[in-house]
Each structure stands twice: as C-alpha cells, then as structure tokens.
C-alpha cells in the first residue's frame, strides 16, 4: 500500500484528508444511536456488520457549524489500535496520492501540538488540510 495515499473529503467548503492506512470502509449515512452523557462531538454508535462503532461528527469536533445529514453524507470508518471509530463527513471525494513535497508544515510548527492539522497540501487549485486522527480522538 502506498504510504502517501489519502482519503479526501469535504467539511463545510474545505477539503480535508486522512491517511488511508487505517481506513476500513466508507459508509453511507446510517442510523446512529445516541449515547447519553457523551461529549457533543460524539454522535453515538452504529452497528457495522455486528460491531459497535463509536461515531464522531468531525464538523463539531473541528469547531465548524453543525449540518444535517444529506445524500452526500458519509461515515469514514477507521481502525486505530484495534478500535474501530467512525467520522461523519459532508462527502467523500477521492483517494489520492499526495507527495510529501507538496505538504506545507511550517505555518503550523509553533502550534502543532494544539491542532488537529498535520499540514496543508497544495493540489493544483485547491488546498487540502491533512488531519491527524490520533489528535482528533485525543490520543
């Protein structure tokens, strides 16, 4: 598997990406069961082929305005440390090789420990924000 492959998705009007290494599947929006007394960004859990998977709303986690699910909404399911976790995103776009030479890190060097952003990739006429899923989860 290519270590420079990313799943590109949209939140609000921005492009984001996470490394494909841990992505198990991308699912259409499905019924999410709320779990009482959880953080606001935790939407609940889904039953994914018999496995209970917690689901995070990435819009809320990243401080963006909440949005109702629509036909484009997807849940990106990642496997981290033997735990499955789902991320609700507005839509998925593509799987793309992003060469490390087009990733800018310097603008985040001072605040890197306080952000979910690993860097920004320049891809033709768009910018893609690369997310650190461990930090999104608080690991």
Please report, to the nearest 10 degrees, the dihedral formed by the alpha carbons of residues 98, 30, 78, 68 taken in order. Answer: 60
Nearest Cα neighbor of 134 from 29, 14, 19, 3 is 19
pLDDT at residue number 108:
54
Could you give the number of structural domains in the chain?
Answer: 1
pLDDT tens across 117-134, in order? 888 999 888 999 999 887
Domain ranges, residue 130: 5-137
Task: Read off the pTM.
Answer: 0.89
pLDDT at residue number 132:
86
Instruction: Return the CATH number at 14.
Output: 2.40.50.180
pLDDT at residue number 134:
79
């Amino acid at each position: 598997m290519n270590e420079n492959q990313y799943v590109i998705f949209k939140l609000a009007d921005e492009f984001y990406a996470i490394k494909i290494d841990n992505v198990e599947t991308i699912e259409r929006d499905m019924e999410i069961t709320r779990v009482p007394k959880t953080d606001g960004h935790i939407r609940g859990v889904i039953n994914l082929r018999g496995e209970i998977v917690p689901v995070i709303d990435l819009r809320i986690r990243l401080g963006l305005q909440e949005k109702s699910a629509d036909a484009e909404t997807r849940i990106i399911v990642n496997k981290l440390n033997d735990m499955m976790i789902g991320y609700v995103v507005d839509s998925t776009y593509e799987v793309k090789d992003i060469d490390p030479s087009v990733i800018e890190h310097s603008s985040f060097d001072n605040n890197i420990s306080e952000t979910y952003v690993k860097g920004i990739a320049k891809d033709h006429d768009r910018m893609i924000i690369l997310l650190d899923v461990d930090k999104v989860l608080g690991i």
